[in-house]
Amino acid sequence: MTDAAPAGTVVVEREMPHPPEKVWHALAQGPLMAEWLMKNDFQPVVGHRFKLSADWGSIDCEVMAVEPNKTLSYTWGAFGVGSLVVWTLKPTNTGTLLRMEHSGFGPDQEQAYKGAKYGWRRFFASLEQVLARID
């Protein structure tokens, strides 16, 4: 977890021992995304609207940017909170530096912000398990 984020922003940054292409595959393929994030109808196409679904409800999203193996961003709308998730992949000598920034939480959305902080840590742990398993 990185603490240098602006107020209302959750940032998780991890060094992954996998090349950017492999990390991208897990981020941008709907079936793999379902294994570490949530059920979805995601497609890595700018303007594509999709839903992330869990037992507690769903999140309305729209793809905002796609640059394969480098960046992916989408809106994240749930429970009256509109926010933005931005993934950045940077190659390193040992794999990929993966950064996720979830921004847009207002001062009156403390519960959503805390939920995102907790949730993204769990999602990253699941993502690491998926990456360790896939080719």
Look at residue 88 and tell me if it is in a domain: yes
Position 1 scores a pLDDT of: 41
Look at residue 7 and tell me if it is in a domain: no
Total number of domains constituting the chain: 1
Look at residue 129 and tell me if it is in a domain: yes
Give the structural domain span for 129: 15-133
Q: Indicate the pTM of the whole model.
A: 0.91
Total residues belonging to the chain: 135
Torsion angle, CA of 53/58/63/69, rounded to 10 degrees? -40
Look at residue 102 and tell me if it is in a domain: yes
Helix (H) or strand (E) holding 61: strand 57-67
| 3-state DSSP assignment of residue 15 | strand
Look at residue 5 and tell me if it is in a domain: no
pLDDT averaged over consecutive 10-residue blocks of the chain (135 residues)? Answer: 66 97 97 97 98 93 98 91 95 98 92 91 96 92
- Which residues neighbour 35 within 8 Å (Cβ) at sequence distance 6 or greater? 126, 130
Look at residue 64 and tell me if it is in a domain: yes
Phi, psi of 106 (to 5 degrees): -85, 170
Q: What is the CATH number of the domain that holds 104?
A: 3.30.530.20
